[in-house]
Amino acid sequence: MDADLRKLRYFVALAEEMHFGRAAQRLMIAQPVLSRQIRALEKELGAQLLRRDRRSTELTAAGKQLFQEAPPLLAAADALQRRVAQAAGGATRFRVGFMPGITVSAAVRALTRRHPGLTVEVVRTSWDDQAQVVLDGSVDVSLVRMPIDQSGLRLQPLFTEPRVVVLPADHRLAAKDVLALADLADEHLLQDPDAVPEWRDLPKPAGHEPRPWPRVHSVEEKLEYVASGDGLVVLPESTATYYTRPDIAQVPVDIGPNQVCAAWRAGRDDELVRDFVDIVVRTYAS
């Protein structure tokens, strides 16, 4: 394979739009140019990536595979470019990821005071991508909520906070002062059980048939399902508080707290990363 990154970027834009005209407009190039670049990419890879007729454009099996693997590759290339510039003394940007309920503004202000001229961008992450954005270089450091796969990462614990159960406001348990996890044995969990490891060990009543959780990515989507009466979620207290709404209730639950850590890629040890981690440790210790 000898495909250049520009062609890969063109392909990803096309795969996201699934329309040559819209993709060309987004890329600010002429549509015939995009078509030629995609044909050149297919020739380089020795595989047809798209099927196109007068009415539609769709990805082939090879195209779907490339679409799955190209974005992390492009993000890693961007991260490499930033790190090279940083090593040469020309770093001007630093990206910080954060999970819902976590605020990073104080640490960002402190970092920019320490490094005048540095532009700090913040990126909201989710349970699904909070580790991946660090590994693929989309962010330099991220504040993550455990548990996560720690492979390839370095972690610095910052703080813990209680977790709560979020239920429909009219749920039979919504008025309780505190819940035991056992109280929820016959309820439907609307999130990946890996986010609530205690749930997997919870004995279920006879005849209980677990249902798959909806494939949603944002807290807002999860809470829409909760408010509709489809089930419950377990969230860190700050996240639940941030998304307070009248049709749902938050009840403390007697399980361990959520751990928040700073995460960065293993093997990376530059001044900006060290400074930011030092700042967030001091910020959350005060």
pLDDT per residue as tens digits for the range 70-118: 888 887 777 777 667 666 665 578 999 999 999 999 999 999 999 988 9
What span, in angstroms and rounded, lies between the C-alpha atoms of 173 and 179? Answer: 8
132's enclosing H/E stretch is helix 132-135
Per-residue pLDDT band for 5 (boundaries 50, 70, 90) equals: confident
Q: Do domains 91-157+259-285 and 163-256 have the same CATH topology?
A: yes
**Alpha-carbon separation of residue 238 from 16, 97, 121 (angstroms):** 34, 17, 22
CATH number for the domain whose boundaries are 91-157+259-285: 3.40.190.10
Architecture of domain 163-256: 3-Layer(aba) Sandwich (3.40)
Top mean-pLDDT range of 10-19, 48-57, 205-214: 10-19
* pLDDT tens-digit map of 125-176: 988 889 988 988 889 999 999 999 999 999 999 999 999 999 999 999 999 9
Class of domain 5-72: mainly alpha
| Domain range summary for the chain, segments of one domain joined by + | 5-72, 91-157+259-285, 163-256
Per-residue pLDDT band for 208 (boundaries 50, 70, 90) equals: low
User: DSSP state, 124?
Assistant: E
Q: pTM of the full predicted structure?
A: 0.70
Give SS3 for 255.
coil
pLDDT exceeds cutoff 80 at 228: yes
Say what percent of the chain tops pLDDT 70: 93
Mean pLDDT, residues 261-266 taken together = 95
Top mean-pLDDT range of 124-138, 179-193, 205-219, 226-240: 226-240
Of 226, 232, 155, 127, nearest to 189 by C-alpha is 232
**pLDDT value at position 83?**
67
